[in-house]
């Protein structure tokens, strides 16, 4: 059974979607969909399908199987090293590792020697003697790039894969989970070229990863952000000649005939702002709130995506995120399948 879950490529470090080709991303999506299909069969057998606006696609409640789906990770420990808080990334990743027969070793910055200023590199070089790969959630992307370089140097006794579970610059696993959800709800990756995503709000790590992924997959993406809050200059220059990526300050343009409306919190993880600054940001971003008015410009069967946590009344109105077109919890479910696919590409 293990072989049906194998991707057709393997990678070492995965820090952003730049590290993967178009074919690599499609292979990951299709592998994740195979994991999803197996889970659906398990749930169907146990009659645990749940009511959902996307019931035609068999949205489910996850049921831990009585046995591991595969022995892919048998005898392996995977390190989860997190510098910032996590709900969905940690829980979905731990579940994915468990169901593949492995063990998740979780350490955060407050309950390890990192809290006493031990270097992240020393921590990694210790844990690489125990673990087969690292999922790292860092407040500074430069730490990940430094670790990846050190990991591949002659000074390191092992080359243990490093996967970005979130940094201030990119959130590639979240983008992959969104693409898996889109494929599941819109008939597969072959339909991506006909879709438009309208992203509204801050040029966050999620927006950056979404843009890099859409460029490789040929998905039309329009990103609408207030002045000085768009994607960083480096990525905008990188994507300046793209045929499918468009930047604008007009939220209505991004929403017009969109198949997906996507947003993120207006104040991303790691940004320290006081109450006055937060109120100022709320006013700057107010026109970019995904509301019924903007949603009315999208296609009638649009999907609403958000990486969570969400702040109702700020980046999205409650009637949208809690409404019938919201697929935010479908993305949460897709995280498990996405992590399984990533792990299948390492071992």
CATH code that applies to domain 174-331 = 3.40.50.1370
Q: Which of 154, 161, 233, 149 is nearest to 13 (CA)?
A: 161
Instruction: Flag whether pLDDT at 63 surpasses 80.
Output: no
Topology of domain 2-170+334-344 in CATH is Rossmann fold (3.40.50)
Residue carrying structure tokens 């969104």: 178
Half-sphere CA count of 270, side-chain side, radius 13 A: 16
CB 338 within 8 A of CB 316: no
CB 69 within 8 A of CB 100: yes
pTM, two decimals, is: 0.93
Question: pLDDT tens, 135-186?
Answer: 999 999 999 999 988 877 645 555 789 999 999 999 999 999 999 999 999 9
Domain boundaries, the chain: 2-170+334-344, 174-331
Instruction: Flag whether pLDDT at 270 surpasses 90.
Output: no
pLDDT the model gives residue 60: 54
Confidence label for 65 from pLDDT (cuts 50, 70 and 90)? low
Q: Does the fold of domain 174-331 match that of domain 2-170+334-344?
A: yes
């Amino acid at each position: 059974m293990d072989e049906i879950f194998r991707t057709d490529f393997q990678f070492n470090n995965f820090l952003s979607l730049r590290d993967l080709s178009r074919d690599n991303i499609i292979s990951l999506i299709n592998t994740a969909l195979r994991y999803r299909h197996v889970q659906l069969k398990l749930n169907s057998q146990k009659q645990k399908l749940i009511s959902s606006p996307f019931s035609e696609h068999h949205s489910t409640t996850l049921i831990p199987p009585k046995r591991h789906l595969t022995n892919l990770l048998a005898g392996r420990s995977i390190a989860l090293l997190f510098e910032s808080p996590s709900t969905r990334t940690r829980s979905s990743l731990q579940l994915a590792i468990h169901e593949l027969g492995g063990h998740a070793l979780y350490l955060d910055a407050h309950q390890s020697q990192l809290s006493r200023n031990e270097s992240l590199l020393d921590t990694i070089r210790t844990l690489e003697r125990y673990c087969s790969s690292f999922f790292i959630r860092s407040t500074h992307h430069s730490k990940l790039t430094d670790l990846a370089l050190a990991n591949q140097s002659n000074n390191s006794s092992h080359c243990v894969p490093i996967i970005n579970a979130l940094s201030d610059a990119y959130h590639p696993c979240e983008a992959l989970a969104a693409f898996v959800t889109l494929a599941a709800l819109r008939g597969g990756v072959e339909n991506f070229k006909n879709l438009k995503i309208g992203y509204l709000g801050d040029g966050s790590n999620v927006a950056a990863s979404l843009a890099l992924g859409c460029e490789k997959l040929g998905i039309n993406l329009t990103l609408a952000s207030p002045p000085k809050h768009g994607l960083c200059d480096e990525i905008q220059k990188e994507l300046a000649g793209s045929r499918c990526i468009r930047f604008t300050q007009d939220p209505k343009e991004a929403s017009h005939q969109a198949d997906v409306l996507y947003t993120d919190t207006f104040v991303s993880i790691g940004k320290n702002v006081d109450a006055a600054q937060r109120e100022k940001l709320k006013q700057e971003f107010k026109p970019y709130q995904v509301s019924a008015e903007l949603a009315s410009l999208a296609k009638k069967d649009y999907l609403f995506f958000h990486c969570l946590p969400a702040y109702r009344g700020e980046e999205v109105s409650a009637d949208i995120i809690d409404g019938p077109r919201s697929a935010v919890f479908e993305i949460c479910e897709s995280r498990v399948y996405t992590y399984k696919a990533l792990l299948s590409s390492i071992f």
